[in-house]
Chains A and B, each alone.
Chain A
Amino acid sequence: MLIEDTFAEAFTMRAARIIITGKTDRWAREAALKLTGFATSVIGCKCEAGIERTLPAAETPDGRPGISVLFLTMDKQSLPERLIERVGQTVLTCPTTACFDGLPSAPDRLPVGKALRVFGDGFQASKVIAGRRYWRIPVMEGEFLIEETFGMQKAVGGGNFLILADDADSCLAAAEAAVAAMDPLPGVILPFPGGIVRSGSKVGSRRYKKMIATTNDAFAPTLRAITETALPEGVNSVLEIVLDGLDGGAIETAMRAGIAAACRAGVRAISAGNYGGKLGPHHFPLRTIMGSGT
């Protein structure tokens, strides 16, 4: 098993943590799944989002089952815009749910509840509880409760590693093991389906000028013979794990757990995606993270 001497290159993003509660875990999760749907990559979705973890009732503000969601965009301006759109269409609409800020100490505040309150058409009412303002928005079911502002902080997006395997089955099994190891860790999300990406991309296009990202041909097994391949002998399938986190430490911890879990039968090497270190300020050297050369 080879841990390649390379690094993952990641970007500074802006993140919010949304706590969704519901009458049952099911309803909190229904809202969270809709909120984080179609939010795999800023390339096409304008945001990246995922479920951070399930919260027991004792850990939520209203004592009901909850889900913690991390929500990221590339810049300060677009984070509230995306949140207002998505929370308004997914959490507000979902039976029994309420929506709370998961970064209360963050000084940068996003007026998400403040914007959504106008759905109440003047019938909304606010309450300040322990110094935090909440909006009660009347709806057909009863009332939707949402915090007035949500905290925003700098975060790290685009942490990643590549699993290079003998065949597609062993590659998927290794990726699934990696996701299972990373999923419970706090402060990170895996925004792609099941936490796994099969279509890793490179910047730009060799043929289509308008494309900002196209297939990572260096890691595509079917192109081994006709492109400048990065694949070692015997590798017939590659999957990528992409992760976003609230800070570099959370990314490192999750990468360490994921890579360790992915190192199993049928996996030939672990690599990572980068842009030569020129684009992203956050570098995660695989061998340093794993604490060994191979």
Chain B
Amino acid sequence: MSETIVLTLRAPLERMLDLSAVAADRFAALAEREIAGQPVRYGGLAAALGDFVVVRGERSTRLRLEGDFARADGIGTGMAGGEITILGPVGRDAGLALAGGTIDVRGSAGPNAGGAPPGAARGMTGGEIMIRGSAGEEVGAAMRRGLIVVMEDAGRGMGRGMIAGTVVVMGNVGPGAGRFVKRGSIVAFGALAPPATFRYACTYRPPHLGVLLRSLRARHGLPFTDAHVAGRYHRYSGDFAELGRGEILHWAEAQS
């Protein structure tokens, strides 16, 4: 048993690599050779994980990916526990339907991080996704529970159709954030234009954000300042095209 399983990319990816088999909890009982033999698809063709990465370590729920995985999709799909740290960017669908555990992307993420598989009603149902760069379109779409933090900008349609859960974005938020949200929270520190189907409620200090941001600072070293922790936020309720029980909390000091 290793403390951490390390997957190091052998060579830059020229096509899309489907890594939806890579989930920390699934490797808990696997030997190094079994991990290397996990099925993946490269450019739509069947292959083995070991064809693309060097595997070091075995039988652990802590996983570290080293290299540029911007063309690797679906890392952490359906994961229910454990930790994945990616030292670089990832492709689309990172943490797709995540149920538990933590995915820490030390780079940017493609579209639909924490989102739902095609045709599914629910995205992630638990766990945490930290994206230390920017996130593509529809991050957190249809999420049911859990937390996503984006430390730079988030693309169009962030949190689209959220059922519950929380998405925090430090940077600017693309258009259409929170459209069709039932419940759930979007917390934004950069520029954001609430959809027309949201209504302004008040400007106040949400007490849970102090707990949340301090917890993220302590557990993940995310650079939330005391001004964020103790700050005031504009609260918008919506989406009134749906239940209207969701919210956008927009930092009052944000430069819009």
Q: Which residues of A contact B (CB under 8 A)?
A: 61-64, 98, 125, 127-130, 134, 136, 142-145
Contact = CB atoms under 8 A, between A and B. Distances in A.
15 contacts: A61-B214, A62-B207, A62-B211, A63-B214, A64-B210, A125-B183, A129-B211, A134-B211, A142-B202, A142-B207, A143-B204, A143-B207, A144-B207, A145-B207, A145-B211
B172 interface: no
Contacts of A98: 207
A236 to B, nearest CB: 53
Interface of B: 145, 147, 166, 183, 185, 202, 204-208, 210-212, 214-215, 219, 226, 229-230, 245
The 5 closest A-B pairs by CB, nearest first: A62-B210, A145-B207, A142-B204, A130-B215, A62-B211
B207 to A, nearest CB: 4
Contacts of A145: 207-208, 211
B149 to A, nearest CB: 12
Nearest to A146: B207
B230 to A, nearest CB: 7
A127 B210 contact: no
A216 B210 CA distance: 50
Given A63-B226, A125-B183, A127-B166, A134 B208 contact: yes
Contact of A136 (B147, B205, B206, B229): B206
A12 B206 CA distance: 39
A63 to B, nearest CB: 5
A136 B215 contact: no
A64 B215 CA distance: 14
B207 A136 contact: yes
Contacts of B212: 127, 129
Nearest to A99: B207
Contacts of A61: 210-211, 214-215
Nearest to A126: B164
Contacts of B205: 142
Contacts of B215: 61, 129-130
A196 to B, nearest CB: 36
B129 to A, nearest CB: 14
B164 to A, nearest CB: 9
Contacts of A136: 206-208
Contacts of A130: 215, 219
A63 B229 contact: yes
A5 to B, nearest CB: 51
Contacts of B226: 63
A36 to B, nearest CB: 22
A145 B211 CA distance: 10
Given A62-B207, A136-B207, 13 more contacts: A61-B210, A62-B229, A63-B229, A127-B185, A127-B208, A129-B147, A129-B211, A134-B211, A142-B204, A142-B206, A143-B204, A143-B206, A143-B208
A63 B207 contact: no
B210 A63 contact: yes
Contacts of B229: 62-63
A113 to B, nearest CB: 12
Nearest to B247: A125
B230 A63 contact: yes
B135 to A, nearest CB: 21
Contacts of A134: 208, 211
Nearest to A98: B207
A118 to B, nearest CB: 16
Contacts of B211: 61-62, 129, 134, 145
A130 to B, nearest CB: 5
A61 B166 CA distance: 19
A129 B208 contact: yes
Contacts of A64: 210
A63 B229 CA distance: 8
A143 B202 CA distance: 12
Nearest to B204: A142
Nearest to B217: A63
A45 to B, nearest CB: 30
